[in-house]
Structure 1
């Protein structure tokens, strides 16, 4: 019986460039998350380097776990793992209010919570059919597009917001990617994303926008256990991260379905989504012992798989190895960090736009002229886009409620599941009761 394309081992001459493409597109996430933590908590340079090393190494190990899927941990799909954006903000909020060691303890508690809550969550997966997951994927794509755009422009309150040079680099990178995909053929076309990023970086060099700084002179760096000291455990302080874990499980479910659809592999959601979630939980649990925030599967690389058409999970195996190497050898991270955020943002906008379109494709399988399906999609999209389009809309609410509601993906996923149950599952129950009464 022939192997499925996702399980095929390709020649290294093909695996390596495609693996590097995944790494280059997503490498900004671990670097930016570590420097956000370092700047907010005023960490010493050597501690920042060790934290960056741990983040890259764990992202690499997590990518290998998701790609290989040993012992029912990991999806055996081409996934890459990253420190999540929302978990980093939650980690910092806990650290500022209760101390960094309590924040580390919260990460460890949340990693364990994934495994404790998974049996109950698995029973709820029937409430996450394609119409719910498609809606969630659209929200994921739109939310990520905003993140990519902010890499180009900066945040509205930041100095230099909307700098024309940065706009030029971001838009030029998008144009390079599109033109390369249009005119190249074969393997070169499949590498259009990374070639567009390289072209954008070359333009940045010509404009004097490349900078090599911020990492010191270390050649080899090793992750250090408990870099902040022994963790402190406070369940109440950990509640924001515990709540996020539930939303993360729903998002991981959607990403598993989408990834499987992109590579053309039939899966059992009730069996395979928990494998993805176990991988997230395990790497997050280990990460807590090395001072990182939660690590989650990334939707970014699914867009790359869709654009390239290269479905082998061994591509992300290579990406995982590269991430570990970057984590151990500081000069590699220094080179990647030299790529301007606006160039990475231009690449990200293309990839994230592809993700949003894939969500729309999933919704095409459902009859949206049926008012029930229409509301299951429309209301969650509205609720999920509110915090994206109107930042700070929930700032007047209590902090925990505000943090949860600010996650448009979490709100959209939860409301879509509830509405789907209301219009479809509850209706079936009512019909069966009417039949018995008759």
Structure 2
């Protein structure tokens, strides 16, 4: 009897992995606890701003949590073409706080103001849903220089929020001099770090949860955590549609809220790319469209269920990176817990008892992790291109200005204050707009890759060069025959500086052994008269002079001559060494003597690697001479390294 092998199962991406129920529950609870404080702050601020009473505030918090849960499930699980299907929680956007207070007060404050806010929220949600496909097409305007900047801005801008929690006492006032609060915050961080260092697997992945629970228990035993609100809270509190009345629609309010949603769309796009970077899943315009549709649907539902505009929450992006638990079903479980909290005020009161310093300590760890993800993304950016330097530097500067001085928004007219509502908002907008200005507006010929400040040779000019002009410009990267440069020329057009560099490397190592041997033979003997006199070229003379080989004393010259002669006699070609990777004279001699014991094949390959290193440094010199200010700023990075 012949058995037919079952077809192999398709590998499941960690994002789509359904974990066992106990793990889903614990990981979901961890996300919930990390998320809770940020989730309820908007209703608190709004209620205070437009004059709502305590009973109304409690209903807003319950409605917010309930809708947060629905929105998070929509975003993480998805249906039809809605939801990005990544581990992203949804929360009320901070960007909307100031505009909503303005709208509410303009409508008379209190319940009347709230109803006008809900009218604008419902329409803005519908508009966001409808424009999502068009905004999604802008994904090509979010290369690593934009997404990396936005992600870094998100992390850095949220750190002060966590720091504020870390110094907040039980009365809700900031007290940086309170040593006990500092101990709670630092202690929480240390517990998280210790668990990550000592444990692997499950314990390490719930380090934040253990830190939060442990810190809360200690604070409770010391009298700094209270759960008195649990007893006075109701067991069940159901939020009903249009609880405060039928929404009112104002054109001015609607326009303001649509602007808010367009700004948060940029933030959502950044969060999508941040999460995709962490979970190692490629996203495109379709994914961004789905995420924005989910924002629109959640915002529309929020207006009906007495809540507010929704966006992807950056707070939990750091938790995904810190725990390395990538399943979107964990976030969906957290969403389910939020729905339960929204229906059980007692449960919400229990979670609300976590001391702010403990939350602040966990927040510091998570938000800093988000910033690190941004830095990792920026490592892919070509900073030899001055445009990228300007985009990143300006965006970070504006974001940090607003983060450090949040009151600066009041310097603008009231309707424009939303632009400076948060560091995340202005930093994200700046990165996006500056990228458009530098790369898609006007005629910029690309980064300078050679020449001097007064006579720059830019990438577009390189792509338009004749073969002879190209060889003349870059021929100095190699000694002897110039076939490497000519073959690199055939790989035009070059997308960026890194692409141009790779063209030389690919041409070099794709050559035949005979061609490579001819190239190796073109390199001068170390410390030779030809190098000292400069007949082998200025680059060769400068490199050997850098290590003192052009002005050796008699004994050292004899040692070097003996080594290079023995090497040539042993292998039949000169000793090629990337001198910028070597230390002093003795290290160069030791390096050469070790290589004398290798085989001919290995030394042939070693020589090619050394030639590639030399060419790489010479290429860096060309770029640095064309960008002197940038080279000076990055000079501390120019240490010897492998290429």
For the aligned pair, the TM-score class normalised by the smaller chain equals: over 0.9
Rounded Cα–Cα distance in structure 2 between residues aligned with 1:230 and 1:291: 11
- Map of 1:127-146 to 2, 5 A cutoff? 127-146=141-160
Aligned to 2:291: 276
Contact 2:164–2:174 (8 Å) recurs in 1: no
CA shift digits 1:285-340 (9 cap, x unpaired): 11111221212111122211111111111111211111111111111101101111
Of stretches 414-423 and 179-188 in structure 1, the one that deviates more from structure 2 is 414-423
1:122 pairs with 114, 136, 150, which one? 136
Q: Is 1:312–2:321 an aligned residue pair?
A: no
Aligned to 2:277: 261
Rounded Cα–Cα distance in structure 1 between residues aligned with 2:56 and 2:373: 40
Q: With the length of structure 2 as denominator, give the TM-score of the two structures.
A: 0.64
Q: Is 1:234–2:268 an aligned residue pair?
A: no
Aligned to 2:119: 105
Aligned to 1:392: 407
Contact 1:243–1:404 (8 Å) recurs in 2: no
Q: With the length of structure 1 as denominator, give the TM-score of the two structures.
A: 0.93
Aligned to 1:379: 394
Contact 1:280–1:296 (8 Å) recurs in 2: yes
Contact 1:47–1:227 (8 Å) recurs in 2: no
CA shift digits 1:181-207 (9 cap, x unpaired): 222232101111111111211221122
Contact 2:438–2:444 (8 Å) recurs in 1: no
Displacement of 1:429 in angstroms is: 7.8
Of stretches 15-24 and 27-36 in structure 1, the one that deviates more from structure 2 is 27-36
Displacement of 1:56 in angstroms is: 1.1
Contact 1:94–1:238 (8 Å) recurs in 2: no
Rounded Cα–Cα distance in structure 2 between residues aligned with 1:79 and 1:298: 7
Displacement of 1:214 in angstroms is: 4.6
Aligned to 1:222: 238
Displacement of 1:160 in angstroms is: 4.5
Rounded Cα–Cα distance in structure 2 between residues aligned with 1:245 and 1:134: 22
Aligned to 2:32: 23
Of stretches 102-111 and 70-79 in structure 1, the one that deviates more from structure 2 is 102-111
Aligned to 1:354: 369
Aligned to 2:47: 38
Q: Is 1:63–2:72 an aligned residue pair?
A: yes
Contact 2:212–2:359 (8 Å) recurs in 1: yes
Of stretches 130-139 and 375-384 in structure 1, the one that deviates more from structure 2 is 375-384
Rounded Cα–Cα distance in structure 2 between residues aligned with 1:82 and 1:23: 11
Aligned to 1:73: 82
Contact 2:237–2:342 (8 Å) recurs in 1: yes
Contact 1:88–1:293 (8 Å) recurs in 2: no
SS of the residue aligned with 1:393?
Answer: helix
Displacement of 1:347 in angstroms is: 0.6
Q: Is 1:342–2:357 an aligned residue pair?
A: yes
Displacement of 1:33 in angstroms is: 2.6
Displacement of 1:226 in angstroms is: 1.6
Q: Is 1:148–2:162 an aligned residue pair?
A: yes
Q: Is 1:54–2:70 an aligned residue pair?
A: no
SS of the residue aligned with 1:82?
Answer: strand
Of stretches 373-382 and 424-433 in structure 1, the one that deviates more from structure 2 is 424-433
Contact 2:66–2:340 (8 Å) recurs in 1: yes
Aligned to 1:326: 341
1:245 pairs with 261, 279, 283, which one? 261
Q: Which runs of 5+ in 2 are unaligned?
A: 1-9, 108-112, 447-458, 465-643
Q: Against the structure 1 CA distance between its residues 168 and 283, is the aligned structure 2 distance closer, same or farther, given a 3 Å change threshold?
A: same
Contact 2:154–2:371 (8 Å) recurs in 1: yes
**Count of aligned pairs between the two proteins:** 434
Displacement of 1:427 in angstroms is: 6.5
CA shift digits 1:111-139 (9 cap, x unpaired): 12212332432333222212101101111
Displacement of 1:361 in angstroms is: 0.5
Rounded Cα–Cα distance in structure 2 between residues aligned with 1:229 and 1:217: 24
Rounded Cα–Cα distance in structure 1 between residues aligned with 2:116 and 2:323: 42
Larger radius of gyration: 2
Contact 1:83–1:293 (8 Å) recurs in 2: yes
Contact 2:86–2:276 (8 Å) recurs in 1: yes
SS of the residue aligned with 2:96?
Answer: helix
Q: Against the structure 1 CA distance between its residues 211 and 93, is the aligned structure 2 distance closer, same or farther, given a 3 Å change threshold?
A: farther
CA shift digits 1:7-27 (9 cap, x unpaired): 111111221111111001001
CA shift digits 1:196-230 (9 cap, x unpaired): 11121122112211122457431111012222221
Q: Against the structure 1 CA distance between its residues 45 and 380, is the aligned structure 2 distance closer, same or farther, given a 3 Å change threshold?
A: closer
Contact 1:111–1:282 (8 Å) recurs in 2: yes
Contact 2:166–2:361 (8 Å) recurs in 1: yes
SS of the residue aligned with 2:410?
Answer: coil
Q: Is 1:183–2:198 an aligned residue pair?
A: yes
Rounded Cα–Cα distance in structure 1 between residues aligned with 2:115 and 2:74: 27
CA shift digits 1:65-119 (9 cap, x unpaired): 1111101110111111112222233322221222222111121121122123324
RMSD value, Cα: 2.4
Rounded Cα–Cα distance in structure 2 between residues aligned with 1:153 and 1:24: 19
Q: Against the structure 1 CA distance between its residues 364 and 160, is the aligned structure 2 distance closer, same or farther, given a 3 Å change threshold?
A: closer
SS of the residue aligned with 1:74?
Answer: coil
Rounded Cα–Cα distance in structure 2 between residues aligned with 1:374 and 1:430: 16
Contact 1:252–1:276 (8 Å) recurs in 2: yes
Rounded Cα–Cα distance in structure 1 between residues aligned with 2:289 and 2:228: 41
Contact 1:65–1:279 (8 Å) recurs in 2: yes
